[in-house]
Amino acid sequence: MTDDVKVLYSGGGVFDGERMLPDGTAVLAEGARVAAVAPAGEFDGFAGETVDTTGGTLLPGLIDCHVHLCLGAEGDPGGAGDKLMPGQMVMKALERAQAALAGGITAIRDCGGKDYLEFAVRDACNQGRFLGPTIRASGRVICMTGGHGNRSGRIADGIDEVVKAVREQVHAGSDLVKIMATGGVMTPGVNPEDAHYSAEEMAAGIGEARRFHRRTASHAQGAEGVLNATRGGVDSVEHGIFLTEKCVEEMIERGTFLVPTLAAIRNIIARRDDVADYVIEKSLRVEDAHRRSIRMFYEAGGKIAMGTDAGTPFNRHGDNAQELAYMVDVGVSPIDALRFSTSAAAELVDLPGEGRIAVGGAADLLLVQGDPAHDIAMVADKDHHRMVVKRGTPVSARSLALATTARQAVAAF
């Protein structure tokens, strides 16, 4: 969409990323930016394009703070990915990013890819060469020998090697650094409750990332690993399955975000016949603790940002918005689920121009049926989505098909 095209969204409700705005509020987008947010009467006589939002709610595009574009949500996504050539992996990753966008996700944070292949997708989408969400990417996760993520991560043992691994991610072009503090569900032979890196190793890695102005995320499921990451100054704890009162207290004290990723365990258990036995065993063991931990952290007033772990078994790119319903299911209010998926997520991912409907901000918008502040299904179920807009451009099956056609033409040249 050219910079001088103006579009007025008027008639329905508006959630600005923090709260529902007064009835009768309209939003004017000019090109890729929001130009005005004001009572609809102030736009009397507007002669440009108008989108009638009556019966619906306009909100910022959603932000998913934890996805894996190099995983395709198969029963064994790592095994499926190993069968792809690098070029095929890049194309698959682009398709997954576009599927997320079509599902209302206008920005994503990739929390662990494969050989930096996802960086090509990030750059293409962020530069506008392909239609896609805004992407931040961590590159290779950093893990200990035999630790969670060792299949495709950067294995590093000891403070010096962890620091070197962080520098490698920075050199490769990472936007953030992800360090694996504990075992996990998807890696055979490791216990999610076990701390992997020592407190000293975690602090060294996080400190080195901060020295180079990179934010940090830590896969942290067991309490000891959560505390190691939190005390080391990590920006976000991913999953947080076995939180204790001490974990919650220290995370809140330091302003550490929690990214719940409830969709990951939920989808594994729902398709247990199609996933390895060891994955099912661990998923069933952690399910209740995970729900309790998220509820405890929320009720204590902790900072939460939406994330899905999309790409893990049957956790499909494009269905990301279901995470909002899963959050509400464990006790999060609908309005907070919306906030965690927009303005709070933008704060974590460091996207100051996104996650809010505000003058000068990005025209990244999602129009849904009904009022999601009262019925979260209106945003969680993409069947209720009426329109997705990225940088002022409506996202449609046709626009994505045109992008696919263009890729096919280049490939055939």
- Report pLDDT for 338: 98
pLDDT, tens digit, for every residue of 395-405?
A: 975 566 555 55
Give 410's pLDDT tier (boundaries 50, 70, 90).
very low
CA 75 to chain centre: 21
For 18, how many CA atoms within 13 A lie in the half-sphere containing its CB? 5
- Report pLDDT for 404: 52
Arithmetic mean of pLDDT, 101-121: 98
Q: Over pLDDT 90: what percentage of the chain?
A: 94
H-state helical runs in 4-157: 77-82, 86-102, 118-126
Pull the structure tokens for residue 50. 């108008």
Same domain, 163 and 291: yes
Same domain, 141 and 32: no
Same domain, 99 and 203: yes
Structural domain ending residue among the three candidates 349, 369, 384 = 349
Domain count, the chain: 2
Is residue 265's pLDDT more than 60? yes
Pull the structure tokens for residue 71. 């995983």
Pull the structure tokens for residue 57. 């709610």
pTM: 0.95
Map tokens 């204790």 to a residue.
244
Same domain, 278 and 391: no
Least confident of 34-48, 80-94, 274-288, 399-413: 399-413
Same domain, 13 and 92: no
Q: Is residue 413 part of a domain?
A: no
- Report pLDDT for 405: 52
Cα–Cα distance for residue pair 396/388, rounded to 1 Å: 8
Arithmetic mean of pLDDT, 326-340: 98
Q: Is residue 409 part of a domain?
A: no
Give 321's pLDDT tier (boundaries 50, 70, 90).
very high
Is residue 407's pLDDT more than 60? no
- Report pLDDT for 396: 78
The per-residue pLDDT of the chain, averaged, comes to: 95
In the three-class reduction of DSSP (H, G, I as helix; E, B as strand; rest coil), residue 3 is classed as coil
Q: Are the C-beta atoms of residues 72 and 96 closer than 8 Å to each other?
A: yes
CA 14 to chain centre: 22
Task: Provide the residue count of the chain.
Answer: 413
Arithmetic mean of pLDDT, 104-130: 97
C-beta neighbour count of 100 within 10 angstroms:
28
CATH number at residue 49: 2.30.40.10
Map tokens 């045109």 to a residue.
402
Query: Residue 299: is it exposed, middle or buried by C-beta count within 10 angstroms (0-12/13-18/19+)?
Result: exposed
pLDDT, tens digit, for every residue of 188-211?
A: 999 999 999 999 999 999 999 999
Q: Is residue 344 part of a domain?
A: yes
Same domain, 81 and 142: yes
Same domain, 221 and 90: yes
Same domain, 345 and 367: no
Structural domain ending residue among the three candidates 334, 349, 364 = 349
Residue type for position 169: Q
- Report pLDDT for 273: 87
Q: Is residue 208 part of a domain?
A: yes
Q: 390 is in which domain, residue-wise?
A: 6-60+356-401
Q: Is residue 305 part of a domain?
A: yes
Q: Report strand pairing: 215-220 vs 236-239.
A: parallel
Give 412's pLDDT tier (boundaries 50, 70, 90).
very low
Q: Is residue 1 part of a domain?
A: no
Arithmetic mean of pLDDT, 168-189: 97
Give residue 173's region: left, alpha or beta (phi > 0; psi -120 to 50): left
Q: Is residue 389 part of a domain?
A: yes
Pull the structure tokens for residue 169. 């991610």
C-beta neighbour count of 4 within 10 angstroms:
8
Least confident of 112-126, 208-222, 318-332, 385-399: 385-399
Same domain, 154 and 281: yes
Same domain, 34 and 84: no
Residue type for position 223: A
Same domain, 130 and 35: no
Cα–Cα distance for residue pair 10/246, rounded to 1 Å: 47
CATH number at residue 114: 3.20.20.140
Q: Is residue 411 part of a domain?
A: no
Same domain, 23 and 154: no
